[in-house]
Amino acid sequence: MSQFTEIRTVPGTVRGSWEGGVAVFRGIPFAQPPVGSLRFRAPVAVLPWSGTRDALAFGPSVPQAGQTGSVMTSTTRVPTDGSAECLTLNVWTPDLGSAALPVMVWIQGGTYLENHTSNPHYDGALLARSGVVVVSMNYRVGLDGFGHIAGAPDNRGILDQIAALRWVRDNIAAFGGDPARVTVFGQSAGGACVAALLTMPSARGLFGRAICQSMPGTYFSQRLAAAVTAAIAGEVGARADLDDLARHSPRALTAATAAVLAKMPRFAESWGPMALTPTPFSPVVDGLVLPDAPWRALAGGAARGIDLLVGHTRDEFRLYTSRPGTETVDPFDHLSPGADLRDAYAAAYPDASTAQRREILNADWLFRMPSVHLAESARAGGGRAWMYELRWSFSSEQGASHCLDFLLLFGTLGAEEIRRHRAAHPGAADEVSGVSRALRADWVEFATTGEPGWDPYTPQGRSTQIYDATATVSPYPEERSRRIWSAHRFGTLDLLSG
């Protein structure tokens, strides 16, 4: 078999390579560079090209902190070093024939601030060898992707994802995929984007199954998002509108975002609990691009025909370390009703320390309970949903933390890496491959058949797959927290004052 292989797509021919039995195509553009007059705009379809374009290396990253390239400093002219062409996607496929394999489109997380599909932990080769076509894409992040800017559409990062899904619809058959069997799956911010995609009119028909991993439950009103953008714009002395912000380079705006992020807890009285999270951005419920927060939309039947797999890790918040100032902020003071919550957690978790209760609360309100409520909303709206929890961990320090799930899913956490960890559990290195295989097999089964292998979630049985050294099915395991939040209604976070 030749090392290189060429595929004709609608815009033009691309050349990929065979690597370990998987054909890989990297850095395929799916939209025009979002620079110059297209900055802060909805993505525009990529222009056709003649000849054959190499798809052998990942495309440049979208503008974000730490990125190099002239796109970070350019404002009025298009960069000439290629870093502007950042809206690209990647394909891993085990079969370039007419197999019509299930397609899994990965939307990575990164607190809406980072996006690196070249991250080796997102390597889709092992997942593709399981019998699916895997696609990942760059999408705009930070102010460019999620800031509410007067004169610009909201949720530009999610609009980029929709543009990539349209590319999949139009081109994936040539890579051995079935455009009628597309599953979107994402983790953290990517999981919340998947939940948003479930409800967005412009995404309708582009996928039939969805997997939300550790989705944060923060969706902003335009007022709250505007307040965040105004604070960032104020750092560079700009107005929060398209014309004025376009005069400032991405590097200047990422630096301004970092300055606001460092002092976010100071805004808690006006911005509410989102000021205690690791990011100033979230999808914006604008009533148009994103008509409603996903819980109410799903309960109303917005995604009735889309099968949903949703879940979280057990120790979601263990990953996060304190930022300057956060140690003085008590999350119970900023979640309503704070006093009742404090008493409820004290009663539900009597043996936990104050710090442990804060960790549990942060895990609950930010990740775990939004996931449970999403499954319940999908069920209420006439759809099918399945729940899972990752309980397995390799270290008592990190526990089953945020992000551990995708390392297992892609198989990029190795036994030797665990053996070298100073706090690894005895036997964890021998267990990791089995947990990884179980998780990956269930995701592929769901993408292939629409069912992962256990009973759907219902309010009565609350069937949940638990991934530990051995996978088991039980009622939802975080029952104490579920009861505390059972009457809560997740929705759109709004500006509290100012």
Known active-site residue 130: no
pLDDT of 9 strictly over 80: yes
Query: What value does the mean pLDDT take over residues 339-361?
Result: 92
Q: 325 pLDDT band (50/70/90 cuts)?
A: very low
- Token pair of 317 as six digits: 């918040």
Give yes or no for a contact between 219 and 492, defined as CB atoms under 8 angstroms apart.
yes
pLDDT of 323 strictly over 50: no
Give yes or no for a contact between 395 and 428, defined as CB atoms under 8 angstroms apart.
yes
Query: What value does the mean pLDDT take over residues 397-424?
Result: 92
pLDDT in tens, 283-308: 999 999 999 999 999 999 999 999 99
pLDDT in tens, 64-104: 999 888 999 988 777 888 899 999 999 999 999 888 999 99
Query: What value does the mean pLDDT take over residues 388-401?
Result: 93
pLDDT of 490 strictly over 90: yes
Mean pLDDT of all residues belonging to the chain: 94
Neighbours of 460 (CB within 10 A): 7
Which are the contacts of 156, defined by CB distance < 8 A and separation ≥ 6? 34, 40, 41, 42, 43, 140, 144, 145, 146
From 74, 83, 188, 436, active-site residue: 188
Between the alpha carbon of residue 461 and those of residues 246, 313, 457, 475, the distances in Å are: 52, 20, 7, 6
Residue 167 is predicted with a pLDDT of 98
β-strands 220-221, 133-137 pairing:
unpaired
- Angstrom distance (rounded) from CA 80 to CA 70: 8
From 371, 373, 402, 478, active-site residue: 402
Angle (CA) 439 188 270, round 5°: 155
Q: What is the CA radius of gyration of the chain?
A: 22
pLDDT of 7 strictly over 70: yes
The CATH class that applies to domain 1-497 reads alpha beta
Q: 322 pLDDT band (50/70/90 cuts)?
A: very low
Beta bridge partners of 187: 213
- Token pair of 109 as six digits: 């997380």
From 85, 114, 316, 359, active-site residue: 316
pLDDT of 327 strictly over 80: no
Residue with the bigger pLDDT between 369 and 321: it is 369
Residue 69 is predicted with a pLDDT of 87
Residue 2 is predicted with a pLDDT of 61
- Angstrom distance (rounded) from CA 278 to CA 242: 25
Give percent above pLDDT 70 in the chain.
97
Give yes or no for a contact between 477 and 258, defined as CB atoms under 8 angstroms apart.
no
Query: What value does the mean pLDDT take over residues 402-407?
Result: 96
Choose the weakest-confidence range: 5-14, 141-150, 318-327, 429-438.
Answer: 318-327
Give yes or no for a contact between 280 and 65, defined as CB atoms under 8 angstroms apart.
no
Known active-site residue 417: no
pLDDT in tens, 158-209: 999 999 999 999 999 999 999 999 999 999 999 999 999 999 999 999 999 9
Residue 329 is predicted with a pLDDT of 63
First to last CA, the chain: 64
pLDDT of 121 strictly over 80: yes
pLDDT in tens, 60-73: 999 999 988 899 99
β-strands 13-19, 4-8 pairing:
antiparallel
Q: Domain spans of the chain?
A: 1-497
pLDDT of 129 strictly over 60: yes
